[in-house]
Amino acid sequence: MSRGRAALAGVTAAAVAIGVAEPVAVLTGPRSAPLIAVGGLVVDVVPEPLKQFAIAVFGTYDKIALLVGTAVLLAAIAALLGVLAARRLLLGLAGIAAFAALGMASALTRAGADALDALPSLVGGALGALTLWAFVAGPLRENAGPWTPPTTPRPETATPAQSGPAQPPASAPPAVAALARDEASAGWEPQEPAGDESRRRFLRGVGLLAGTAAVAGLGGHWLAGRRGVSAAREAVRLPTPVAPAPPVPAGADLSVNRLAPFVTPNREFYRIDTALVVPQVDPATWRLRIHGRVRRPLELSFDDLLARPMVERHITLACVSNEVGGDLIGNARWLGVPLRELLDEVEPEEGADQVVGRSVDGWTCGTPTAVLRDGRDALLAVGMNGEPLPVEHGFPVRMVVPGLYGYVSACKWVTELELTSFADFDAYWVPRGWSAQGPIKTQSRIDAPRRRDGLTAGPVTVAGVAWAQHRGIRRVEVRVDDGPWHEATLAPTVSVDTWVQWSWRWDATPGDHTLQVRATDAAGETQPEQRRPVAPDGATGWHTVPVKVG
Ligand SMILES: Nc1nc2c(c(=O)[nH]1)N[C@H]1C(S)=C(S)[C@@H](COP(=O)(O)O)O[C@H]1N2
Ligand SMILES: [Mo]
């Protein structure tokens, strides 16, 4: 078997393994599919700098990049396994078994996994191994005899000694000629078909099996998608809040071209999480357990939650991984139950200084109990901008806490609140090098003009947003080319928990210039010039934008 064929056989076997696992995963849940399960394990174990690199390079496409990367790596290894198998079949089969075991182990170690989650990798591995065997030693192997005895009658008078393959008429087209030759040789040498026949059978096998893998994979994926919760989400009727959101003041939106809108539409809201497949949580079976160091543990259904008085608030959510000038920030109108009220009911014990939010997928965040009870509008949210939470933003229920980065507070698909202490428990990102405490740092961003925008000399509107959630913004200043600072005009905003838009009229002169912005919070604290990276507790520095004026 040539190396090329052996490699192709290996890749086909891997494709079969991954493809047929998909329809099985329709039964056991998308997170048990081998590619997703292993990818999820990779997300949890890759070193933080690499993850940062992925976020920086691929932006929010890091997940697709991870899956494509995993697939490419897998194909390379599978090709190698094919070559290995051609020499010693057992080695190739052992390689496939090792991969199946990895897939099974990954699926079984995910949060909330049960024994059935091993099934997709098991079935995939078995059929992948069967495929490899078929190519290397089974019916699809090189020089294997035909599957069914040839029906072509032998040429009447021919004997192996005196007659070669029958010759087609000289005028026959090449395909017919090839066919004639094949049939003849099949008739003559059942154990040793000509190289052409063998190659054709090999390629037919590859095509058929790869096609089956693709159909099974895509079909399974599609079916799994139909089992999602979008219908359940559409059926949710959100209650009217007893405390509606204060209206957005006229003028909060400066409506400058390229400036982020005051309220971020759900479709444009940034998304950050460790979930390779969006958890599909059925509100009918959803439960929230509030437990741990409390005197009166509480369990709520979705209907219990909806029956409670709801408040609606604009709150600006920000990610700790947001670089200076970055867009991992958004402002929405959230509808939910105040977490303060729920905590009052369960009566936390003294010293239970941390509330751990736990998602259905096992992700955790740790929020200071004191912050949740200090009177701010920390919400157990069910609505976002007038709709049930979008599935990727945590449907049916998530946390939203003004003033804290998402990684310590904004648990999506939340199913548990556990009262504990910071001394006793580290949430997901803490052992990975991020600070246990994550108050949002004061920041400001220039949205208009953008980097290297071509501008014409004369008046130019410089505009952007600034935020210091739960403290509020007092002042925003802009400067050009390290010149004097100019105070920008602040648009009205809803509350200290939301960002604020600002603008400044610049009389631009021809040439290359640098615009810079800095904000001061309501306590009089100005954001520091010193640039610090996002880890461990949020970037600092002034957003700087080079522009060209013609
Ligand atoms: N279950 C779960 N919730 C999560 C996360 C996660 O990885 N899993 N990431 C958090 C982080 S880091 C941020 S910044 C916010 C982002 O919320 P969004 O995706 O709705 O913008 O969600 C938080 N909630
Ligand atoms: Mo984040």
- pTM attached to this predicted model: 0.82
Domain annotation covers residue 503: yes
For residues 496 and 458, membership in a common domain is answered with yes
Residue 1 reports pLDDT greater than 90: no
| DSSP 8-class letter at 61 | G
Spatial contact of 549 and 509, defined as CB atoms under 8 Å apart: yes
Domain count, the chain: 3
For residues 396 and 472, membership in a common domain is answered with no
Q: Is 394 left (phi over 0), alpha (psi -120 to 50) or beta?
A: left
Q: What are phi and psi of 359, to 5 degrees?
A: -85, 160
Domain annotation covers residue 167: no
**Per-residue CA distances from 349 to 340, 345, 418 (Å):** 15, 12, 12
Percent of the chain residues topping a pLDDT of 70:
88
Instruction: Give me the pLDDT at residue 170, please.
Output: 40
Can you tell me which atom of ligand 1 is nearest the CA of 273? 7
Q: Give, using CA atoms, the residue closest to atom 24 of ligand 1.
A: 411
Q: Cα of 279 to ligand 1 centre, how many Å?
A: 12
CATH number at residue 447: 2.60.40.650
Close Cβ partners of 4 (under 8 Å, ≥ 6 residues apart): none
As given in the structure block, the two tokens for residue 63 are 């997940």
For residues 423 and 454, membership in a common domain is answered with no
| Continuous H helices in 114-228 | 119-136, 174-188, 195-226
Q: Is 219 left (phi over 0), alpha (psi -120 to 50) or beta?
A: alpha
pLDDT band at residue 366 using 50, 70 and 90 as cut-offs: very high
Residue type, 403: G
- Asked which of 432, 466, 494 is the last residue of a domain, the reply is 432
Q: What is the domain extent for residue 331?
A: 266-432
Of 469 and 204, the structure prediction assigns the larger pLDDT to: 469
Instruction: Give me the pLDDT at residue 432, please.
Output: 86
Domain annotation covers residue 379: yes
For residues 504 and 409, membership in a common domain is answered with no
> Alpha-carbon distance 234 to 228, whole Å?
12
Q: What is the torsional sign of CA 490, 494, 496, 497? A: negative
Alpha carbons within 13 angstroms on the beta-carbon side of residue 471 total 21
Domain annotation covers residue 100: yes
Q: Give, using CA atoms, the residue closest to atom 7 of ligand 1.
A: 273
For residues 82 and 208, membership in a common domain is answered with yes
Residue 313 reports pLDDT greater than 50: yes
Q: What is the pLDDT of residues 41-96, one digit of tens each?
A: 877 777 776 766 666 555 556 777 777 887 888 899 999 999 999 999 999 999 99
pLDDT band at residue 166 using 50, 70 and 90 as cut-offs: very low
Q: What is the pLDDT of residues 377-420, one digit of tens each?
A: 999 999 999 999 999 999 999 999 999 999 999 999 999 999 99
Residue 314 reports pLDDT greater than 80: yes
Whose atoms come closest to the Cα of 410: which ligand?
1
Domain annotation covers residue 182: no
CATH number at residue 345: 3.90.420.10
pLDDT band at residue 262 using 50, 70 and 90 as cut-offs: very high
Provide the Cα torsion 416, 422, 426, 428; round to 10°.
Answer: 50
* 167-181, 354-368, 527-541: range with lowest mean pLDDT: 167-181
For residues 498 and 545, membership in a common domain is answered with yes
For residues 301 and 211, membership in a common domain is answered with no
Q: What is the pLDDT of residues 445-491, one digit of tens each?
A: 999 999 978 899 999 999 999 999 999 999 999 999 999 999 999 99
For residues 381 and 474, membership in a common domain is answered with no
> Alpha-carbon distance 23 to 38, whole Å?
17
Spatial contact of 382 and 397, defined as CB atoms under 8 Å apart: yes
Can you tell me which atom of ligand 1 is nearest the CA of 360? 1
For residues 412 and 459, membership in a common domain is answered with no
For residues 216 and 120, membership in a common domain is answered with yes
- Asked which of 202, 226, 250 is the last residue of a domain, the reply is 226
Q: Cα of 409 to ligand 1 centre, how many Å?
A: 9
Domain annotation covers residue 494: yes
How does the average pLDDT of the chain come out, rounded? 88
pLDDT band at residue 40 using 50, 70 and 90 as cut-offs: confident
- Asked which of 432, 465, 491 is the last residue of a domain, the reply is 432
Domain annotation covers residue 164: no
Q: What is the torsional sign of CA 241, 242, 248, 250? A: positive
For residues 426 and 481, membership in a common domain is answered with no
Domain annotation covers residue 187: no
The binding-site residues of ligand 1, defined as CB within 6 angstroms of any ligand atom, are 269-275, 317, 319, 359, 361, 363, 393, 406-407, 410-413
Instruction: Give me the pLDDT at residue 509, please.
Output: 97
For residue 435, the tally of other CB atoms under 10 A from its CB is 16
For residues 358 and 498, membership in a common domain is answered with no
